[in-house]
Amino acid sequence: MRLVEAMVEANHRALAGDSRAGLRPADFANSLPIAALTCIDPRMHPLMPEVLGVAEEDFIWVTSAGNRIAHLGCDTLLTLSLACAVHRAREILVIGHTDCPFCNLRPPQLLQHLQALGIDLAQAAGKLNDFLSQFTDEQHNVQRAVQLARSSVLIAPTIPIHGLLVDIHSGRLDWIVNGYQSKGAPAVESTAKTEPAAPPAARTDGRLGGGYKIGGDLPPIGSG
Ligand SMILES: [Zn+2]
């Protein structure tokens, strides 16, 4: 089982009440650290990176409004590229979330928010409309960002690029794009079993909505 497949499975097991669900980072040393592109929504802060079951030191966090990559060569894409080149991220995750305002509000509504701050829309209406009109639904936003990143020459073809959606309330992760299935992605299989070996050294301090903790009552990383 590969890293993100194990992440999703552990997440589902934990949400189903399995207090022993978690990742053992040593089993996935060849796939860590990861770089994650998420939305700027502050509700993501209590979720990341605990919902993924990885430690903070293995989590390189890049954010943009609506987890959007504007175009090939944009700053967000360059940042992801440098996360791999400089900080040695082995895999990239684009993680959208449910109830994203950028997807649920139409461009005129978003423009009204800017106008309410006294911004003169006449100065930048064209560029703003282009930007805001590219937000669609949460799943499509993730798919588009993955497609752009995958087609970029700035990201090595050996770096898997995945798309996930996280439920902002429960912390449930769902696949949008399995990057292991893309051409060029390595098949770095862990020897970890589907059933987590005891004692899994998953994080224990991640609290999601409803009191969920990834790793349940297991000891923190490095303690066992
Ligand atoms: Zn959002």
Q: In tens digits, what is the pLDDT along the chain, a chain of 224 residues?
A: 999 999 999 999 999 999 889 888 889 999 999 999 999 999 999 999 999 999 999 999 999 999 999 889 899 999 999 999 999 999 999 999 999 998 888 778 888 888 888 888 887 777 777 777 778 899 999 999 999 999 999 999 999 999 999 999 999 999 999 999 975 555 455 544 444 333 333 333 344 433 444 444 433 333 33
Distance of CA 176 to the CA centre of its chain: 11
Neighbours of 186 (CB within 10 A): 15
Q: How far is CA 137 from CA 77, 112, 200, in A?
A: 21, 20, 36
Q: For residue 41, report the distance from its CA to the centre of ligand 1, in Å.
A: 5
Q: How many residues are present in the chain?
A: 224
- Note the pLDDT of residue 194: 40
Q: For residues 22 and 218, is the Cβ–Cβ distance under 8 A? A: yes
Q: For residue 96, report the distance from its CA to the centre of ligand 1, in Å.
A: 7
- Note the pLDDT of residue 12: 95
- Note the pLDDT of residue 183: 55
Q: For residue 105, report the distance from its CA to the centre of ligand 1, in Å.
A: 11
Q: For residue 31, report the distance from its CA to the centre of ligand 1, in Å.
A: 26
Q: For residue 155, report the distance from its CA to the centre of ligand 1, in Å.
A: 24
The first and second tokens of residue 8, run together, are 């999703």
Q: Is the pTM of this model over 0.75?
A: yes
Q: For residue 66, report the distance from its CA to the centre of ligand 1, in Å.
A: 4
Q: For residue 173, report the distance from its CA to the centre of ligand 1, in Å.
A: 15
- Note the pLDDT of residue 210: 37
Q: How far is CA 186 from CA 40, 138, 158, 183, in A?
A: 30, 27, 6, 9
Q: For residue 48, report the distance from its CA to the centre of ligand 1, in Å.
A: 14
**In angstroms, rounded to a whole number, what is the distance separating the alpha carbons of residues 15 and 68?**
28
Q: For residue 67, report the distance from its CA to the centre of ligand 1, in Å.
A: 7
- Note the pLDDT of residue 209: 38
Q: Three-state SS across the chain?
A: CCHHHHHHHHHHHHHCCCCCCCCCHHHHHHHCCEEEEECCCHHHCCCCCHHHCCCHHHEEEEECHHHCCCCCCCHHHHHHHHHHHCCCCCEEEEEEECCCHHHHCCHHHHHHHHHCCCCCHHHCHHHHHHHHHCCCCHHHHHHHHHHHHHHCCCCCCCCCEEEEEECCCCCCEEEEECHHHCCCCCCCCCCCCCCCCCCCCCCCCCECCCCCECCCCCCCCCCC
Domains, the chain: 3-104+137-181 (3.40.1050.10)
- Residues lying with their CB under 5 A of ligand 1, a single-atom ion: 39, 41, 100
